[in-house]
Structures are given as C-alpha cells and as structure tokens.
Structure 1
Amino acid sequence: MEAKLTTIRSEIEKHLSRSGYNLASFAKVSGLNRGSLSAILHGNPPKPISLGQLDAMTRAFGFPEGWLYPLYVEECFGEDRVSRRRVEPFLVRCAEIGKQKCIDEVLSRIMEYPRPLEIIYTVAERLFCSGRIQESLTFYRRVVQYEPDSYSERMAISQFRIFMSLQTTHEMEPEQKLRGVISFEPYRGLLPEDMQLDGLLKLARVSSDLQHWRDAAKFADELRALAGGIYREELRRSSVKRPEAFAAERPLVMYYGQSYLLKATALMMQGDYEQAKQYTAGYADLGWFELLDEDGRRAVEDFRQLAAGSSFKLEILMGNTAVLPSYISFLADHPGEILPGMVIIMESANRFGFCADAVMARFSREMLRFEQFQDRVNVDRLYRLYYQIAIYHIGQGRHARGIDYIMHCLRLTVRLNSGQDFINCVTLFEQSRDYSTEDQQKAYRELLKEVRALDEPAVPAHSRFGIV
C-alpha cells in the first residue's frame, strides 16, 4: 500500500488527534479563529496558512519554533506564482533562527518563477536594515549572481552591502579584503550619494589596511570631491529653505575630514611629507563647516586632535627633532597613539641617527602592554616597531638586544602570515649572525623548523605560510 504523503496539514491533523484537541479547543489555546482553522484544514481548496498562524500553532502544540518550516516551503508556491506575502516573512524568519536548509530550498525553487530577484533583494534589505548583516549576505550574493543588469542600482547596492560587511580591523586575511575591493570598486559610482560616501570611505580605509597607498589616495580624492559637492548643495538648500535634506549615516563633515586625513596618511606613507602637511592642514580646522549638529561639532574637535598628532609625526619623519619633547608629551596624554607614534620615532631615529634611548625608557611600561594586542592592525604595528628597534640596537652596537627583537619580529610575522616581512627579518638576522649567541642561534633554528612545519603538505594550501 502506498504511504500517505506528509503535508503540513496532515501533520497538524495528526497532532490535533494525538493531543485530544478539537477545532474549538485548539482555537482557544492557540489564539486563532475557529473558522480560520477550519478553512485552513478542511477548506476546498484549503485556505493558505500565514507564518503567524503557523507559529501560533507550533507554540500551542509545545514544539520549538520552526518545527513545521520544512513543510511550509510548499505553502509559499503556487502553480504559476510565488506568494510574496508568505515567502518574504518566511525567508526573514528562517534567516533569523538559522533554518538554512529551508532558505536553500526556497531560493532554489524561486528562480523558476518570474521576477524572483525582487523578493530576494527585499528580504536582503529587511535583514540588513534590522542589523542582521551576516544573515543578509546569502540573499545579496544571490542577487549579484543572477542580476541580469550589471549597471542596475539593485546590483550596486548588493555589492555595496557585501563590501560593507568586511571587518577591516579584525582578523581578516588581506586576500579577502583585496577581493572585496576588486568586486565593489566598479559599482561605487552607481550608488545613491549617501551610500557613495560610505563606500568610498571604506574603499580608502581598506586600501590603507592593505598598504595600497595610491588606491587609498585615489578614493580619498573621490570622497573629498563628493562630500564637497554635497556640502555646497546643502548650503543652497538651506538658503532657500527647501525641506528635503541630505541624510547620511554620519555627519557630512566627518566624510570631508576623513578624505583629507586618508589622503594625508597615504602621502606620508609614500614619503611625500610636504604634501602630507598640506592635507593635514585641511582637516586640522574644520570649524568653518556650516550646518553642524552636535555629532558634527564633536567630529571637528576629533579631527583637530588627530591633526595635532599627525603634524608631530610629519615633523619627526622630516628629521625635526626639536619637536620630539612636545610629541612625547602629546603621546603621554593620548595613550592610544603611543604604539603608532613609537613606530614613527624609531623609524626617524634610524634614518637621521638621533638617540631614542630616552623615548624607549619613557614608554617601557606601555611597550610591555603592547604584547596583549590580538587584532591584526596593532600586531602589524607592533611588528614594525620591533623591526625598527632591532635595527636601532644593532646600529648602536647592541647586537644581542637587536637580535632578540629580530626573534620577536619573526614570531609576529608568523602570526601575520606575512612572507615578505619574514624574509626581511631573516635577512637582518643573517647580517648579524656573527654577533648572535648560541642560545639565539638555537632559538632561530627552532623557529625556522616551526615555520617549515606550517608549510608541510598535510596542511591545506590556503593555510600555509609558504615562504621557507
């Protein structure tokens, strides 16, 4: 005898029978209308079940949320159309409670119907705007995969949302960031202006993280031009009291100031200190900016302080040691700037040959705490500081201390998975090998063995250190 097909209604009927409910008693305990229940279970054709009704039944039976979701997929589809009233909230709820198999089945079936991307994009936006960023990515990626018009705003916004999900200051491999930039960059100009601001800001920041300074400068220039144009339009609107106002995620002055800061940083990292000073002046005093709210005024003050620190850095990098005492006082008042500031000071000490012993002594306690950093940005800064300290000590004839710092650097390059930095450290060690102790040579050999073990064939290719 052929087995009876399991449907959502047959399951509900089965559990009504097992629980001893009739329609009247179940309507009372579930909070649903008895007539609606009868139409759902016994109508010809049966009335469709809403997601709210299904969840109410599930609670009444005492089952966990999503109990009948796999069977509810069928409820979302007809012979020739998709029910948006049912499928959109269903996909949102499945994403919220982690019913990925249900999502996959719906997305597979929905592509057989007309205009499926409208539904998928709407679900993605609902999830993203409610803070469910990671959950939205499945749907945005489906839009990107199947959108027929590569120049549509829907395509551009989907690419934007995916790119904005990148966590630039957390543990993310540079290759992932680079892929994000490459995928999103062609779409930046197709976005609404408020999204363009955030997209360009993120492009400049991610390019800075990747140390792609020319790209960072290019995106910073675009950001400045866009923010400046919007600002001028806002002034015109305010002068004629037009009601519509530009709305962005952050105050407009923040984007404008960031464009100068990011351009100045890119120039500084390329060694163009004079131009970097000009752009630093561009965000040092933004008090002239009109239409500022409280957040905008706070941003102006933040930029003023950032510019003060950047001005010190540029003077130090240009060899102006007269400002060193003032810069040390500035760092003492701004502990968050000590690590990047120390990198600048040690780099300049090695370039211009001035003594930095007093600076290292002054911040010795803070330097011990740097070892606690776990995020990639600060670990990279710590590596660059130790590398400069190693060069400094070796240059001062303190080879043993310098080699100790080389060993610290080597370990950090393994954490960073940075092959080029590892090679630089190996080269520096080999240049000083004759001054190394037996213990240092032994530690060096052991570290090389550890690195080689990371590159064994048993390790997946994407995880290998791959430089020795």
Structure 2
Amino acid sequence: MEAKLTTIRSEIEKNLSRSGHNLASFAKVSGLNRGSLSAILHGNPPKPISLGQLDAITRAFGFPEGWLYPLYVDECFSENKISRRRVEPFLVRCAEMGKQHCIDEVLGRIMEYPRPLDIIYTVAERLFCSGRIQESMVFYKLIVDNEQDTYSERMAISQYRIFKSLETTPEVDMEQKLRAVISFEPFRGLLPEDMQLDGLLKLGRVSFALHRWKDVEKFADELRALANGIYREELRRSKGKRGEAFQAERPLVVYYGHGYLMKASALTKQGEYEEAKKYTAGYADLGWFELLDDEGRSAVDDFRLFAVANGFALEILLGNTSVLTSYIAFLADHPGEILPGMVIILESANRFGFSADAVLTRFSREMLRFEQFQDPINVDRVYRLYYQIAMYHITRKQYSKGIDYIIHCLRLTIRLNSGKDFINCVTLFELSREYSSDTQQKAYKELLKEVRQHEEITINDDQRFGIV
C-alpha cells in the first residue's frame, strides 16, 4: 500500500534535502531546466508540473515509476478549471500502469467541471487506439452512463467500442454476448461509415454464434447495401481523382463479400438451401471488384474457396450424393475444411440414410488431431461431428462404437458448458443403455458425477459458430 503523502512539492523538497542535492545539481541529474525546477518549487504561484517532469524527478530520486501519482491529482485541477494538458496524459498513464485509485479520484472530481465527457472520451480513444482495449472500457462506460445526447456520434462510438471489446475479452458467455448485441444494435446507424461496416460485420458474427438467424440476415442485408453504396462512391471518386480514398479496418471487398456469405449461411442454418445457393453465388467470384490491394485480392481468393466448400455443403444437405466423391477430394486438398465438411456429410448421411463410411475411413487419421483444438468454435464443431457419428453408428446397430462417441460428446459438452447438448447426449445414451458395456456405463457414471460436483453446466442454446 502506498504511503499517504502531504503535497507533491513538500515531498520533492524533503527528498532533495535528503539526497544532498541543490537545485543546480538536481537539475543536471534529472535533465530538467534549473529555472523550470525553481519555478515549480518556489514560484508564486508555483508553476504546474507536467507529467514528463514528474517522471523525470521520480527517476532522478530512484523511486518506482508513479511514486508521486497520488499527489499529482491536485496538479490537474484548480478552483475553477481543469487542465486538459495535464489530466489527459495523466489518466492515460495511470490506466497503462493500473493505478486505478488515481483514476477513480480524478474521475470522481472531473464530473464537477464543465464538459467532462470531452476529456474522458479523448482518453478512452487514446487508450483504445493504442491497443489498451480493456483499460479504455471504464472511460467508454462512463460516457454511456452520462451522455445527455443519446443520438450523438460520441455515444454511438462508445457503444461500438464496448461491443468490439468482446473480441479481446476472454471467456465471454452467450448471455453477455446477447446483452452486448442488444445494447449496441440501436446505435449502429449513427456511426461513421467505416465503423458501420465493421460493426455490422461483428453484429452478424455474434448473432450467428447466438443462433439468431433472422438477425444475421438483417445485418447481412444492411452490410451489403452499405458496402455497395460506398463502393459506387469510391468508383466515382477514383475516376474523378478527387478526395481521399475511403479507409476502413478491412478492404471494402471483405465487407461486401461477407454481406453475401452471412446471408447464405443464415439461410443454410434455416434449411433454405436453394435460396442460400443464390447468395453463395454472390461471393463466389468477386474478381470484378475494382480498387483491390493485395489484401483485397487475397480476400477474393478466400471467398472463392468458401463458395466452393459451401456449394458442396449445400448439395450434400439437399441429399445430392453424386457430389460426395468430389467433396471428399476437395476436403483432402483443403485440410482446414475437413472438420466442418465432415459435420455436414454426417448430418446429411443421418438425414438421408446414405453411407458415410468413405469419409470416415478417408479422414480417420485427421480425426485423431481434432481433439487438440482449444478454441470454442472448433471444439464445438468436434462435438457436433462426434454426435452425428454416434447417431450414425447407433442407427446401423454398431452400438459399441456409437456409445464410445456419446461419451466423447459428453466430455465436450462439459468443456463447452452447454447444458442443452449435455441433455441430448444423456438422452441418446439412455436410449442405447441396454447395449452399453460395463466399462462404458462406468465412464458415463463418472461424467455425471463430475457434472454433479461442479454444477456449472448451463443451458445456453449451444455455443456454435461456423460458416455453414
């Protein structure tokens, strides 16, 4: 705990005396101008201390960085005004160093002055844009709680930044994501266009993870319309050679393509396969898109690959087994698509009753590596695959294999904290219990005990996300 000090100047004077320095020698050691140092300590009134000067004094004394920060709060205020030149860098530095008590004291006082949100917003933006995402959140949330003009761009950007911070927040559960979507959604149209593009893309992705298919469609439609409008404006600008080029976080073609990809994916999830084909065609060949840089051309290639993969998936989901051999060959050439592709094939095999033995045999070696995945998206895909394989074997009276996969699935539902999937697995096991071995029953009972002991698993409508 930091000791309670008196005033910043008395503390500097005390340590000057202890160190044996006079103003001249200490100015030389600290790198400060002697006249400035004298004005700071002996001026009438004393000259305010900048944060840089304070840090130089601290280093010269050999004290830890931030030593005098608790006393510097007073330096940022006077009776009737606040010094933005001092308070803004001070708040940024305190956030970087984790000096929350200093931040709390400044924020507690700053709200008593006129236009405090101007300062708070500037600090938040400086932190966010320098990569200090979590540190900026306390400032953005203060703006959201205190902004009088709820339709201001500042309010919209603050809501957007809070929503965007989900990307860097570990272990955000589905309920938190849903609340974040609900909070940010009304402000999306108030953002600058570059942020609108990114906001719509992220809203679509989070809504996809939440299984809110109609919302995914809505955001995808808005994203396509906005990206298309900006694209037309950019073409006119480039031909007239006037104005600065539009800048967004990603190339414009990324947002345009995702407008089609998200729409097709949401339709696929709702079983509207023929309609999904139309939107898949919308991102299959974006080579016509002008104004592409290297990143944009790479995105066009990625969309082309997604379209091929999802085109095969749609045919399989429609029961068209004539493409199965070609699809397996495609997956073999694109290892990153094997896991989601196998999920599609097994789901369709269970629905239409065709054999999936060829794909299980072809990718048996790759399947051994699936459980090495740590990210929630791929862990969920592994669960979905194992569940479909379990049903596939049980339907074919290969009970021992099927029950082994059910037990694998149960372990994954605990890892995913997905109560709904856990119940599905328990139900499938109980329907097949009479065919289970003593070893399988023992493993099943141990998993139930584990859940009982921790009591953490919840029903949250799954935690799934994928292209298809």
Query: Taking structure 2 as the reference length, what is the TM-score of the superposition?
Result: 0.95
SS in 2 for 1:114: coil
Percent of aligned pairs sharing the same letter: 78
- 1:157 alignment partner in structure 2: 157
Question: How far apart are the structure 2 equivalents of 1:260 and 1:17?
Answer: 71
Cα distance in structure 2, aligned partners of 1:466 and 1:283: 35
Task: Report the Cα distance in structure 2 between the residues aligned to 1:7 and 1:374, rounded to whole angstroms.
Answer: 52
Specify the alignment match of 2:464 in structure 1: none
* Aligned 1:382-421 pairs, distance under 5 A: 382-421=382-421
Tell me: higher relative CO, structure 1 or 2? Use CA pairs within 8 A at least 6 residues apart.
2
Is residue 98 from structure 1 mapped to residue 110 from structure 2 by the alignment?
Answer: no
CA distance in 2, matches of 1:169, 1:435: 44
* Structure 1 residues 67-466: aligned runs within 5 Å: 67-167=67-167, 171-455=171-455, 463=456, 465=458
Residues 5, 407 of structure 1: CA spacing in aligned structure 2 closer, same or farther, 3 A cutoff?
Answer: closer
Contact kept? 2:419, 2:457, Cα under 8 Å? no
Q: 1:170: how far off? A: 6.0
Please list every run of 5 or more consecutive structure 1 residues that lacks an aligned counterpart in the other structure.
Answer: 456-462
Contact 2:349/2:355 (8 A) holds in 1: yes
Q: In structure 2, do the counterparts of structure 1 residues 437 and 340 end up closer, same or farther at CA, with 3 Å as the change threshold?
A: same
Gaps of 5+ in 2: 461-468
* CA distance, structure 2, for counterparts of residue 51 and residue 198 of structure 1: 36
Is the 1:144–1:158 Cα contact (8 Å) retained in structure 2? yes
Answer whether contact 1:170 1:375 (CA < 8 A) is retained. no
Q: In terms of mean alpha carbon deviation, does 165-174 or 435-444 score higher?
A: 165-174
**Code of the aligned partner of 1:258:** H
CA-to-aligned-CA distance 1:236-293 (integer Å, 9 cap, x gap): 2223222232211111111000110111111111111101111110000111111222
User: How far, CA to CA, are the matches of 1:66 and 1:235 in structure 2?
Assistant: 52
Cα contact 1:170–1:376 (8 A) shared by 2: no
Aligned residue pairs total: 457
Is 1:171–1:376's contact at 8 Å kept on the other side of the alignment? no
User: Relative to structure 1, is the Cα distance of residues 341 and 170 closer, same or farther in structure 2, using a 3 angstrom cutoff?
Assistant: farther
Rounded Cα–Cα distance in structure 1 between residues aligned with 2:293 and 2:421: 45
- Tell me the distance in 1 between the aligned counterparts of 2:301 and 2:457: 45
CA 17–218 in structure 1, closer or farther in 2 if over 3 Å, else same: same
Partner of 1:52: 52
Equivalent AA in structure 1 for residue 416 of structure 2: L
Q: Distance in 2 between matches of 1:380 and 1:67?
A: 48
| Letter paired with 2:337 | E
Judged with a 3 Å threshold, the aligned counterparts in structure 2 of structure 1 residues 400 and 333 are, in CA distance, closer, same or farther, namely same
Establish whether residue 66 from structure 1 lines up as the match of residue 66 from structure 2.
Answer: yes
Looking at structure 2, the residues matched to 223 and 191 of structure 1 have their Cα atoms a distance apart, in angstroms, of: 13
Stretch moving more, 291-300 or 107-116: 291-300
- Offset of residue 41 of structure 1: 0.6
CA distance in 2, matches of 1:291, 1:252: 9
Whole-angstrom CA distance in 2 between matches of 1:341 and 1:102: 53
RMSD (CA atoms): 1.5
Distance in structure 1 (CA, Å) of the matches to 2:298 and 2:459: 46
Residues 132 and 170 (structure 1 numbering): CA distance in 2 closer, same or farther, change over 3 Å?
closer
What is the alpha-carbon distance in structure 1 between the residues aligned to residue 458 and residue 210 of structure 2?
Answer: 18
Q: Distance in 1 between matches of 2:357 and 2:182?
A: 44
Q: Any conservation in 1 of the 2:414–2:457 contact (CA below 8 Å)?
A: no
- SS at structure 2 position matched to 1:431: helix
Q: Deviation digits for residues 292-331 of structure 1, max 9, x if unmatched?
A: 2222122111111111111111111111111111111111
* Distance in 1 of aligned mates of 2:194 and 2:312: 33
Report if aligned partners of 2:5, 2:71 keep a CA contact under 8 Å in 1.
Answer: no
Q: In the TM superposition, what is the alpha-carbon distance from 1:465 to its structure 2 partner?
A: 3.9
Q: Is the 8 A contact 1:127 1:135 kept in 2?
A: yes
Any idea what the Cα deviations from partners look like across 1:176-229, whole Å, max 9, x if unmatched? 211111110010000011100000000001111122211111111110011011
Distance in 2, matches of 1:422 and 1:307, equals: 33
In the alignment, residue 199 of structure 2 is paired with which amino acid? G
Distance 2:51 2:239 in 1: 50
C-alpha distance after superposition, 1:27-69 (max 9, x if no partner)? 0000101111111111111110000100010111111111111
- Aligned-partner SS, 1:166: helix
Provide, for residues 88-143 of structure 1, a one-character-per-residue CA deviation record: whole Å limited to 9, x for no partner.
00011111111111111111111111111000000001111111111111111111
Confirm or deny: 8 A CA contact 2:144 2:159 kept in the other structure.
yes
Aligned mates of 2:58, 2:428 — CA distance in 1: 67
Distance of aligned partners of 1:275 and 1:170 in 2 relative to their CA distance in 1, 3 Å threshold? farther
User: How far apart are 1:171 and its partner, in Å?
Assistant: 3.5
CA contact (8 A) 1:168 1:177 kept: no
